[in-house]
């Protein structure tokens, strides 16, 4: 099988999961113009757990839903200055966590930022998909649509 034939084909938006953060479903815009992936985060708190630098933050995983909030924690990997598509520079926390895209699970870097005014809670940047996927900008949800409300309702029931 040719190397290119084994790559995923992604649409311009896809459902992904961030299982280590407790996010079983989040709609991501596949953004080849962004080097690093970005996740909507608010109430971000930097702290130390023993000698490990950590971040704790909240996520609204479903767009247009301010009520559902998931608390996430992750080791801090870095802090970087990022320039957004509008040319604005912002210092952001960077974490590394596994992403699940279709049938693949692998670690990616994600910057944390307030994306409350943005349509998508997550951007899946080119470093997260390079050598793994092709993007068809005319397509959406090439790997299936999800009902995020059902998924988070089930997660809530299991967590009780």
Cα R_g (the chain), whole angstroms: 16
Widest CA span in the chain: 48
Query: Could you give the 3-state DSSP secondary structure of residue 11?
Result: strand
Average pLDDT over residues 135-152: 86
pLDDT score of 160: 58
pLDDT tens by residue, 20-44: 999 999 999 999 989 999 999 999 9
Q: How far apart are the first and last CA of the chain?
A: 46
- pTM for the whole structure: 0.89
Residue 111 has pLDDT above 70, yes or no: yes
Question: What is the number of alpha carbons within 13 Å of residue 83 lying toward its C-beta?
Answer: 3
Q: Average pLDDT over the chain, rounded to whole?
A: 89
Domain boundaries along the sequence of the chain: 21-134
Neighbours of 22 (CB within 10 A): 15
pLDDT tens by residue, 126-138: 999 999 999 999 9
Q: Could you say which architecture CATH assigns to the domain 21-134? A: Beta Barrel (2.40)
Please work out, in degrees rounded to the nearest 5, the angle formed at the alpha carbon of residue 102 by the alpha carbons of 129 and 24.
100
């Amino acid at each position: 099988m040719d190397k290119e034939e084994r790559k995923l084909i992604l649409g311009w938006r896809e459902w992904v999961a961030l299982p280590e953060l407790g996010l079983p479903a989040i709609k991501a815009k596949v953004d080849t113009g962004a080097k690093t992936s970005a996740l909507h985060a608010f109430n971000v708190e930097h702290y130390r757990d023993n000698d490990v630098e950590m971040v704790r933050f909240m996520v609204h995983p479903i767009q247009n839903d301010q009520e559902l909030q998931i608390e996430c924690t992750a080791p801090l990997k870095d802090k970087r200055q990022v320039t957004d598509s509008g040319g604005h520079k912002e210092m952001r926390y960077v974490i590394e966590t596994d992403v699940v895209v279709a049938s693949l699970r692998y670690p990616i870097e994600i910057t944390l930022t307030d994306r409350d005014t943005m349509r998508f809670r997550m951007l899946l940047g080119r470093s997260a998909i390079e050598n793994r996927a092709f993007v068809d900008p005319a397509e959406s949800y090439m790997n299936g649509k999800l009902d995020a409300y059902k998924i988070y309702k089930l997660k809530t029931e299991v967590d009780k």
